[in-house]
Amino acid sequence: MKGLGSIGKASALVFLICLLAVPAFGADPIKVGEIATVTGDFAAYGVAEVESVKIAAEEINAAGGILGRPVEIVMYDCRTRQEDMVNAARRLVEQDKVCAVIGPSGSGLVISASSVFNRGKVPHLGTLPTNPLVTMDEKGNVRPYNFRICFLDPYQGKMLAVFSAKELGKKRAAVLYDVASDYSQGLREFFIENFKEYGGEIVADEGHREQDVDFRAQLTVIKEANPDVLCIPTMGKALPLAVKQARELGIDVPIVGGDGYGDFMWEIVGDAMENTYWVSHVDRYDPTLEGFFNKYEETTGTECMEFMNAVMAYDCLYWLKDAIERAGTDDPVKVRDALEATKDLKLLHATLTMDEFHNPKDKDGIILKADIEKQKAVFLMKIRP
């Protein structure tokens, strides 16, 4: 990744964005934490988030900062591991004294560190962690310091079920999911529940382990069950490998999946991506996003492949900026109160209002369809179940 590298043998990578700004600042910086999966299976997502937060911070500082103070991003790489996530959260809260923390996208990672943020009274803004337990505990209580900018697994699971049953007209679904992933388990649960409600039948429900790269045994069971749609609610490297192996085994039915989709998948799957559909928070080709994606490419020298992560991370910093300005301070407790009171905030990808559970209220979901000619997934329809 451009601009990132290892620092010593620490358990987490530290990256300070000490940004030059115009005009020069005399005040102390507002310190914002970021945790990202810069290495590990979710590295593609994390790199996109780090670069996008950097772009947003540079823009904010060039425009005068927040409350007349520069923004300083303190970033740790959690390496897609829960123990590193917890350690990074502790360091940001207890040592770096940040006013808030952004990222990463993995539900299990965020859930693992939720107690750190709530005990330390530092708000956390999730980019794409969609499991309900990110903002609510097992007893149904709201986690006071956890927020997210994305919609939830129940919402996108229902979208997948509605799309499969109503739009595609399918009746027999199979599922291949990661038994170790909170994200994958949640999306599977809500897809199955809603698909059945729409009159469908689950003919196969196969699990795999987190580090698996060969899914042929499970896919063989699925093929024998004769589904007319296959749901693969996972993310990372497992997702394109599962799609590719399904096609190699002759499973040619539509494949649907959640927001784990990324354009990186085409490098592995190629034309076998045909007849696949994906839930998205963002339309990659929305004209209002063109300027951001152009700037991302100019800044990094690479096309923005994981566009959902990039846009969500970018908007998280602008959401935080708005909250700090409304609070009139970077005191974490007062910033938390302002985040909770967010209403009709116009961001790059959507207008944001928080509900009582610290989730976005009434956001449209988007279905993307793989386009073989463009080698991209393109906008198919908006959906709000």
Q: Which CATH superfamily is domain 13-151+286-352 in?
A: Response regulator (3.40.50.2300)
Fold topology of 153-280+365-383: Rossmann fold (3.40.50)
- Exposed, middle or buried by CB within 10 Å (0-12, 13-18, 19+), for 107? buried
Residue 125 · residue 147 · CB < 8 Å: yes
Cα–Cα distance for residue pair 240/15, rounded to 1 Å: 30
Q: What is the pLDDT of residue 119?
A: 98
Give the bridge partners for 15, in sequence order.
75
Sheet holding 13-17, edge to edge: 13-17, 71-77, 30-36, 101-102, 124-126, 146-148
> What is the pTM (predicted TM-score) of this model?
0.82
Q: What is the pLDDT of residue 24?
A: 65
Task: Supply the DSSP symbol for 26.
Answer: -
Name the residue type at position 380.
L
Cα–Cα distance for residue pair 154/359, rounded to 1 Å: 12
Residues of the chain with CATH 3.40.50.2300: 13-151+286-352, 153-280+365-383
Q: What is the pLDDT of residue 153?
A: 86
Give the bridge partners for 379, in sequence order.
368
Q: Return averaged pLDDT per consecutive 10 residues of the chain, 385 residues in all.
A: 32 44 70 96 93 98 97 96 97 98 95 98 96 94 97 91 96 96 91 97 94 94 98 93 97 95 91 96 89 96 92 98 98 98 95 96 90 93 81
Cα–Cα distance for residue pair 267/130, rounded to 1 Å: 26
